[in-house]
Structure 1
Amino acid sequence: MSTFRLLFDETCVATNRARVWRCTGVALLAAFLAVFSVNANADVDNQPSVAIYYGNDVPVAMLDQFDWAVVESEHMGEGQLDALEQYGTQAFAYVSLGEAEHWRAGETLPNEAFKARNEGWNSQAADLTRKEWGDYIINKRIRPLWSEGYRAVFLDTLDSYRLFATDDESVKAQQQALVALIKRIRTEFPGVKLLLNRGFEILDQVRSDIVGVAAESLYKSWDVRTQSYRDVKPEDTQYVLDRLREVRNDYGLPAIAIDYVDPADRDTARATARRIADDGIVPWVSNGALNQVGVGSIEPMPRKVLVLYDASESDYGELAYSSAHLNIAMPLEYLGYGAVYKDVDGALPDDTLRGRYAGVVSWFLTGVGAQANYRDWLLKQMRDGVPVALLGDPGIPVTGELSELMGLQAVPSITDQGLAVVDHDDFLGFEGMPEKPAMSGSGYSVVDDKVNVHLKVRDGNGAEFVPVATGDWGGVALSPWAIQQGLADQSRWILDPFKFIKTALALPDMPVADATTENGSRYWMTEVDGDAFNSRASAPGSPFNAQLLLDRILKKYRVPTTVSVITGEIGPDGLYPELTDQVEPIAREIFKLPWVEIGTHTYSHPFEWLGLTEGELTGAGRTAAGYAYNLPLKNYRFDLEREIAGSTRYINDHLAPPGKKVKAVLWSGNALPPEKALAIAERIGIANINGADTHVMSDNPTLTDVMPMLRPLGDHIQVYSPQTNENVYTNNMTGPLWGYRRVIESYKITNEPRRLKPIDIYFHFYSATYPASLKALNQVFSYALSQQTVPVYASTYSRIARNWYDVGVARTLDGGWQITGATQMRTVRLPERLGWPDVRTSRGVVGVRDLTQGRYVALSGEPRVKLNLASGAPSVPYVHRSNGRITQWRHSGGDVTLEMAAEHVPLEIELAGTAGCRVSANGASRRGGGNTVTLRYTGSTSGPVRIDCG
């Protein structure tokens, strides 16, 4: 303990969720202020960042950005503990050491084990001297946690004995029992890490048994009795601050302050965290229920948006057919945000969403079913300060409190005759404006001058109304002013979706996770679906398509290529057993090529996944409206295991060469596998890809034809192909047979002015059937070879895209950024306003390239990256561009050591910032000098590249 002790008459009141006691003291306070003011501005960088979250549906991808994360284990799902700790986070399981919660198993203990009731939290304070209580803590609380894999525990309610221990003797007895119990935990569970919530009076006795101490309500508090937030009295603040400084200075332990702020007041939460950190204390500022992702030494920036859709509005209730998925996901992904989808008629999340989600976006076609429940839920989010963007139909009438919050009021009796645009700004006209406006019968008048009007329309009766507006609550864009539908299923954006979403959700300028680019170059993958493997080509001798494709394409273009087969088409138990002995040797020859990755295109090639039921007899080739659901395999009962795991096993056992295995499943047909199919692929360790049909072309260059990157489904994620296959460009090979060369238009449109997608050369064995289709394929490869790319396998891209979804971006208190989990996806796009990466002082930042599409910052693949910013381009060595990936990066002082590898293509590295430095690279030819050096290798790996700048 400190040499100086406060002398005070102690009064304690239980105030907060963790039932930590507020103890006030007077006398000699001023004498100690000077003593405890030392190190008030101590740097918290040498202490762990800490998060505490007790809510449901634990946001692992945000908590894993902290060094320590305290969670309620009951709310953790299967596999979440491993996910939380995968990048170095230490997970602490919550354990109430001094009280039995009413919802846990405390009632199994005898009444004698309890001495008082905590009415505020509906719990019972335990007599720590009772053996039954110690046994309960060890065997019923901590031992199950240990079995689950927890190796750290957060011990709460250490001071609850003060509810009943009123004299010195009983207090001393309880404290001795508390010390004994903590030491027993350490003995029973060797190596366990214990974090205490207060317990200041016993620290001298347990200092060697614990790893840190927390205390609540340093500056801001939550009063459970009045359900209100309040400022802490100065004398109480000083007491807690003094105790925490003792923890830090006298015991050398991390000291943590847990404060409480209204979830809607994020600015105050940030200011409070900064104030705590300035005191040299580790901050955590959250809401009273501790079910909000708050602000600590870092502030995780929400990278997810809650996207609401109405399943009743789409075929099969399928998310992929909903307007929300088709229209909103791609702009969100470009802006750096993953969509978390919820059916509005299902259960909506009840934890605090501010800090967890960047906002809520909906796109309904009509009003929703459960309007009353949805209205109440939506109002709560808006009161909590969660931005809301409503597109299409709001789903509920904008009346009452909702109207007041939005500053908009419905305009009655709008006629759709004689509509004319009165005024609009650059939020409208993104891909054009309608010549003759249409109206679906809704619009608003503005009743709050804080609302920003982006479109004003007048009807034939002279009534003016606003269909598109934003405010501090979010934004609204009513149909048909977001997307204009035309003939032949053509459509175009009227609304600028990027500008509208960024403004409505008040998205901050921050590093944007990007899955299109690495080391300044655009990703390029090549993938081949197995269809028509054993069809005959229109070429001399009528060879199998597979043989011709092998000879004319696969051997010619030695780039990473993922090739799949349909085992029910070429195998001995498939459709054509008489051809098996002829076509399987071709498959083996293809799979032997070093640059070919092996994929499965399933067993029966489901065409319509949503129409198939497991166990259903499909041998006759069941159809709906003349459309086959899968290949007509005799006596086959549809089985997802056989489709994915079974086909994978057959390829591995009969077609793959030694040392090679199936790496990916390329979804077939409409490429909408159910969640179970995704789970099987994940279980057997193969990546997944295909679907979505991005096919934008120059005669209709609308981004409505650019599809999303991902389709989340339950606990799993489908990865869509960046562009679709040749069937779409050739009208299912009915003509023009050369049509696949038009995919080059798709590559260009999805690259400028925004890089929305990688390059994907995606085709079937059909492309070898005709000379025209084969020529088109050669033209497509020639184009890709002319571009600056990073060639990767389809499985590599799938992992990159999947990794993108959960990468963490956090703002640090010193103005920098922390990137967590970017192990596969290794690029962030830096808004120009933020400046440049400071490669010298950053950690895990390897380079930058400034393109017209954006400023692309290259990362090393380390689990935790520290990105510091500067006003100008780096003056130290860095990677400007490469067609490979970093395998090693070390930056120390003025010296850099790096290694890179490409996937089966000759490696090229362009270094910048090398003026005055000596570059050593064995086996490489070099070009340039001074500030830029380009290294070229005949092989795909670099070996060590050393840059010595003295």
Structure 2
Amino acid sequence: MTFAGYHFSQQSEVAARGGYHCPWSRCCNTFVGKALAILLAVFMMATQAPADTGDQPSVAFYYGNDVPVHMLNQFDWAVVESEHLSDKQFKAIEQYGTMAFAYVSLGEAEQWRGADAVPQAALKARNENWNSQVADLSHSEWGDYIVNERVRPLWEAGYRAVFLDTLDSYRLFATDEVSVQQQQKALVTLIRRIRSEFPGVKLLLNRGFEILDQVQDEIVGVAAESLYKSWDARTQSYRNVRPEDTEYLLGKLGEVRDTYGVPAIAIDYVEPSKRDEARATAQRIADAGLVPWVTNGALNQVGVGTIEPMPRKVLILYDDTSTEYGEFGYASAHLYAATPLEYLGYGAVYQDVNRALPNDTLVGRYAGIVTWFNARVGNGTNYRSWLLEQMDDGMKVAMLGDPGVPISGDLAERMGVQVVASDVESSPKVVSSDALLGFEGMPSHSRPEQSGYKAMNDDVVSHLVVSSGDNIEFAPVITADWGGVALSPWLLQDGIGDESRWILDPFAFLSRALSLPTIPIPDATTENGSRYWMTEVDGDAFMNRAAFPGSPFTGEVMLKQIFREYRVPTTVSIIEGELAPDGLYPELTTTLEPIAREIFKLPWVEIATHTFSHPFAWLNLREGELTAEGKTAAGEGYNLPIKDYRFSLEKEIEGSTRYINEKLAPPGKKVKMVLWSGDALPPKEAVALADQYGLDNLNGGNTHVTTDNPSLTNVSPSLRPFGDHVQVLSPQTNENIYTNFMTRPLWGFRRVIETYKLTDTPRRLKPIDIYFHFYSAGQPASLNALKDVFDYVKSEQTLPIYTSTYSRIARNWYNAGVARRLDGDWQITGATNMRTLRLPASLGWPDIASSTGVVGVRDLSQGRYVALSGDARVNLKLDGAVPSVPHVRRSNGRVTQWQVDEGSTVLEMASEYVPLEIELAGIRGCRVSADGAARSGGGDAVTLRYKASTSGPVRIDCG
């Protein structure tokens, strides 16, 4: 039995009642001849090759509270407890083709669901193990309850598939053959009734072997628990299944598959810390021709099935009491650790350590836990217990800064270390270090007030050893089988002002401490071998006068000298409070609005809002004094001091959008984006509002790495996630930083070219973002610098996109799924906007001919970039050789069609406004047909150049 975060097998039920371990359907059968039939079935299975499971669905069962929808939606079928899913989560599970099966207990009434609608007269016995009541299936009111109170609400909520559990619970009270037959007849009737009242509903059964011959046409599959590995609910322990019980269940599941022609699913249970054993068990089940699912006893873990989703999220813990405003955007983990994690392919999930910590099993869901505390945390006792539990489950933990709790007692024993402290004033000296240290330099002077660790077993590796003045040696940077620790002050070295450098190699340390696997890495910087290029303009100073003859408005200068001259995808915003009649400059409205209309009419310009009052400090406004209407008074330096305006998120986002759409946008164009203003730290509610109104979002972060300060610490992360809502941060910062807020040097924005280069090599960390304000048109020096930046970027191999496109790509990156299949292939799910994988060289090359949804590859010094078609599901096969079949090596456009038949490939591509280029490779001996394209090259590769932004069909015939 499985329900609501718990698992219960019929074998365990017998044991709990003083019986012996065997399935109900076997123990209670009174016909001796049945045993001979079972033995014959097992013998026949043993003499046949395993059935091909390639066309069988991948299946997951998850009953935990915090549902990992973006892992479950990688499966074909996902069985869930609907009470734990919102409507939005349900849709997210099914958005890429997954069918969500809602759990329904057919034979029992669960206490936790409430008893108001349960027909008490139908209840016949009590299941003490699970605090539930067993029902008489033949009672008419019970059938009505199941249909109307359990299934119908699911149907109305959109579920079209149901998992029926507890089919055999009637045996707790039906002890003779007559009553058993009566219950089975009622069971068949109820299943048929469900199918009749909800046409097309798909039913998946848990066991029910005795009635399969009567309902085989009503079901899509059968699951059974504990084929090789089991969970004993009574003793709360994992165990191996007895060979005779395995043989019995193999026979029954083989009959499901071969006789009834539906998938047979085996659910086995392995403790979370034994992930390799779970993988081996899943493979063993698949080798028997069955669909595997191996998970923990509570079924609140992302387990292993036909596919194993690779966790792409890292749980990052921070202490809100030690960060400004309690905002994780100011936490060291966000400022410094998130960027290397993103490069490695992992998105951050931020969790305040002072709030309730996750209680579902985290192994399989998160790639690891990262902490970065500056001191001991407030709820140290609870956190310490939770941390030990995670380590015991096999979760890897990387502790940066301060561990947050004392490393002593059972925690020190689990970590295999002993704390060593220097109690003298003299500064410690470096004794030894390895490649994990010295990433951007080692300090030439020693670091006072330190402690570290002494390894107590051979599993602990000391990467840095220092010695204090009293000759006591200790290691402040270690890794082990549980993760690793890197203590301050050996993480970052402070420089002049706010400059800093990494002492620790964060890429190597995080990879080693978290034991990150080698996987195809989703990438949001590149597509079809070209680096993304976007252009965004904040609306500030649209109404300023420029230092040019006639003192034109900066909006006019920008229109004539930038927007009309550089015809590339450009997102332009305005601030309503600077243009509108109810803003700061009502006397200029009739002059400024026509300029904005001319800009927004340009075909290559995308429209955005830069809010109504340009909040400078969003968190201050959020935290400010509230009126009864929940609004904060404007002013106090937190936003533009617009007369009589009281701050409102709705006015800032939806109101400004409506103003632009109604007053400034040409017919057929609408606002696509909100470009966050000021400190660009909008509260979660603001990001949620943007999502609600269908607006993409961008801005924030402070990436401004330059040649005189070339540290990774100056590269911000790409995302600021709030659960279901994600703020997308700008890839590089704007001209404010390079010009000291437009004071000097006014030409300083040229230095953003340094940033573009340093965020491209040796690692491509960011796309290109030309990000500026209207005040760059205020002076000749700043305007010429802007033109130099455009000219440089035009000379690079890029794929120009609108910022709204990038916003969707970045958010898609956060949730795209990477799963390893049991057959060795890789499955990529949901990569519809983000369409690139960076393939580690050790994985080889994509086998494009045998893969689906893979359109090309380009090998660069920054990595091997695999191009995807944008299909919801991609199957990636790998090979050791460079592809010799037709594929896209490079393009400045996106794939709109990719169709491969025997001997021919049809391709269509489109760019966002700019003339399209396509470089094809692997075409030796093939004929390329491309109307309207100029060609260059030959042999194995050809480049097609179009005057338009679309290609039309490109046909490659290879005979």
Q: Report the TM-score, using the length of structure 2 for normalisation.
A: 0.96
- Equivalent residue, structure 1, for 2:53: 44
C-alpha RMSD of matched pairs (Å):
1.6
How far did residue 135 of structure 1 move? 1.3
CA distance in 1, matches of 2:125, 2:384: 41
2:499 equivalent to 1:497: no
Q: Of the candidates 731, 739, 751, which is equivalent to residue 742 of structure 1? A: 751
How far did residue 27 of structure 1 move? 4.4
C-alpha contact (below 8 Å) 2:313/2:348 kept by paired residues: yes
Change beyond 3 A, Cα 1:416–1:766: farther
- Equivalent residue, structure 1, for 2:869: 860
- Equivalent residue, structure 2, for 1:825: 834
- Equivalent residue, structure 1, for 2:774: 765
Change beyond 3 A, Cα 1:482–1:39: farther
- Equivalent residue, structure 1, for 2:903: 894
- Equivalent residue, structure 2, for 1:166: 175
CA distance in 1, matches of 2:346, 2:425: 36
- Residue identity over aligned pairs, in percent, reads 67
C-alpha contact (below 8 Å) 1:424/1:456 kept by paired residues: yes
How far did residue 618 of structure 1 move? 9.4
CA-to-partner distance for each residue in 1:323-382, whole Å, 9 max, x for gaps? 111111111100000000100000110000000000000000000000110001000000
C-alpha contact (below 8 Å) 1:87/1:864 kept by paired residues: yes
C-alpha contact (below 8 Å) 2:436/2:504 kept by paired residues: yes
> What amino acid maps onto 1:935 in structure 2?
L
C-alpha contact (below 8 Å) 2:117/2:145 kept by paired residues: no
Per the alignment, in what secondary structure is the counterpart of residue 79 of structure 1? helix
CA-to-partner distance for each residue in 1:795-835, whole Å, 9 max, x for gaps? 00000000000000000011110000000000011111110
2:561 equivalent to 1:552: yes
2:951 equivalent to 1:942: yes
- Equivalent residue, structure 1, for 2:576: 567
- Equivalent residue, structure 2, for 1:3: none
CA distance in 2, matches of 1:277, 1:892: 30
Per the alignment, in what secondary structure is the counterpart of residue 79 of structure 2? strand
- Equivalent residue, structure 2, for 1:6: none
- Equivalent residue, structure 1, for 2:92: 83
2:75 equivalent to 1:66: yes
Change beyond 3 A, Cα 1:140–1:116: same
> What amino acid maps onto 1:516 in structure 2?
T
- Equivalent residue, structure 1, for 2:108: 99
How far did residue 402 of structure 1 move? 1.0
2:505 equivalent to 1:507: no
CA-to-partner distance for each residue in 1:485-526, whole Å, 9 max, x for gaps? 222011000000000000000000000010000000000000
Per the alignment, in what secondary structure is the counterpart of residue 823 of structure 2? coil
How far did residue 715 of structure 1 move? 2.7
2:473 equivalent to 1:456: no
How far did residue 656 of structure 1 move? 0.4
> What amino acid maps onto 1:43 in structure 2?
D
Change beyond 3 A, Cα 1:439–1:43: farther
Deviates more, 1:377-386 or 1:477-486: 477-486
CA-to-partner distance for each residue in 1:77-130, whole Å, 9 max, x for gaps? 241111110000000000000111121234653543222222222222111111
CA-to-partner distance for each residue in 1:288-336, whole Å, 9 max, x for gaps? 0100000000000000000000011111101100111111111110000
2:631 equivalent to 1:622: no
- Equivalent residue, structure 1, for 2:920: 911
- Equivalent residue, structure 1, for 2:206: 197
CA distance in 1, matches of 2:119, 2:731: 63
Within 5 Å, which residues of 2 pair with 1:713-792?
713-792=722-801
CA distance in 1, matches of 2:787, 2:732: 17
Within 5 Å, which residues of 2 pair with 1:245-394?
245-394=254-403
CA distance in 1, matches of 2:633, 2:479: 55
- Equivalent residue, structure 1, for 2:134: 125
Change beyond 3 A, Cα 1:490–1:20: farther
Q: Of the candidates 488, 495, 501, which is equivalent to residue 479 of structure 1? A: 488
- Equivalent residue, structure 1, for 2:538: 529
2:800 equivalent to 1:795: no
Within 5 Å, which residues of 2 pair with 1:573-588?
573-588=582-597
CA-to-partner distance for each residue in 1:549-579, whole Å, 9 max, x for gaps? 1111110100000000001111111100111
> What amino acid maps onto 1:622 in structure 2?
G
How far did residue 28 of structure 1 move? 5.8
- Equivalent residue, structure 1, for 2:453: 444
CA distance in 2, matches of 1:205, 1:534: 78
CA distance in 1, matches of 2:449, 2:701: 29
Q: Report the TM-score, using the length of structure 1 for normalisation.
A: 0.97
CA distance in 1, matches of 2:144, 2:23: 23
CA distance in 2, matches of 1:891, 1:809: 23
How far did residue 750 of structure 1 move? 0.4
Structure 1: unaligned runs, 5 residues or longer: 1-9
CA distance in 2, matches of 1:620, 1:61: 40
Structure 2: unaligned runs, 5 residues or longer: 1-9, 17-21, 28-33
Aligned residues: 935
CA distance in 2, matches of 1:20, 1:751: 60
CA distance in 2, matches of 1:603, 1:911: 47
C-alpha contact (below 8 Å) 1:11/1:23 kept by paired residues: no
Q: Of the candidates 631, 644, 662, which is equivalent to residue 653 of structure 1? A: 662
CA distance in 2, matches of 1:706, 1:286: 39
How far did residue 456 of structure 1 move? 0.2
How far did residue 33 of structure 1 move? 2.8
Per the alignment, in what secondary structure is the counterpart of residue 927 of structure 1? strand
Per the alignment, in what secondary structure is the counterpart of residue 766 of structure 2? coil
C-alpha contact (below 8 Å) 1:619/1:636 kept by paired residues: no
> What amino acid maps onto 2:635 in structure 1?
R
- Equivalent residue, structure 1, for 2:708: 699
Per the alignment, in what secondary structure is the counterpart of residue 937 of structure 2? strand
C-alpha contact (below 8 Å) 2:119/2:145 kept by paired residues: no
> What amino acid maps onto 1:528 in structure 2?
V
CA distance in 2, matches of 1:534, 1:939: 35
CA distance in 2, matches of 1:611, 1:12: 57
C-alpha contact (below 8 Å) 2:422/2:468 kept by paired residues: no
C-alpha contact (below 8 Å) 2:431/2:467 kept by paired residues: yes
How far did residue 440 of structure 1 move? 4.0
How far did residue 620 of structure 1 move? 8.4
Within 5 Å, which residues of 2 pair with 1:596-607?
596-607=605-616
How far did residue 442 of structure 1 move? 2.0
- Equivalent residue, structure 2, for 1:516: 525
- Equivalent residue, structure 1, for 2:642: 633
How far did residue 679 of structure 1 move? 1.1
C-alpha contact (below 8 Å) 2:398/2:483 kept by paired residues: yes
CA distance in 2, matches of 1:416, 1:771: 57
Change beyond 3 A, Cα 1:576–1:43: same
How far did residue 30 of structure 1 move? 4.2
Q: Of the candidates 619, 642, 647, which is equivalent to residue 610 of structure 1? A: 619
- Equivalent residue, structure 2, for 1:35: 44
CA-to-partner distance for each residue in 1:674-725, whole Å, 9 max, x for gaps? 1111111111111000001111110010000000000012431100000000
How far did residue 147 of structure 1 move? 1.5
Within 5 Å, which residues of 2 pair with 1:128-143?
128-143=137-152
C-alpha contact (below 8 Å) 1:90/1:152 kept by paired residues: yes
Per the alignment, in what secondary structure is the counterpart of residue 411 of structure 1? strand
How far did residue 14 of structure 1 move? 4.9
Q: Of the candidates 669, 674, 677, which is equivalent to residue 665 of structure 1? A: 674
CA distance in 2, matches of 1:909, 1:711: 34
CA distance in 1, matches of 2:492, 2:361: 32
- Equivalent residue, structure 2, for 1:206: 215
How far did residue 282 of structure 1 move? 0.5
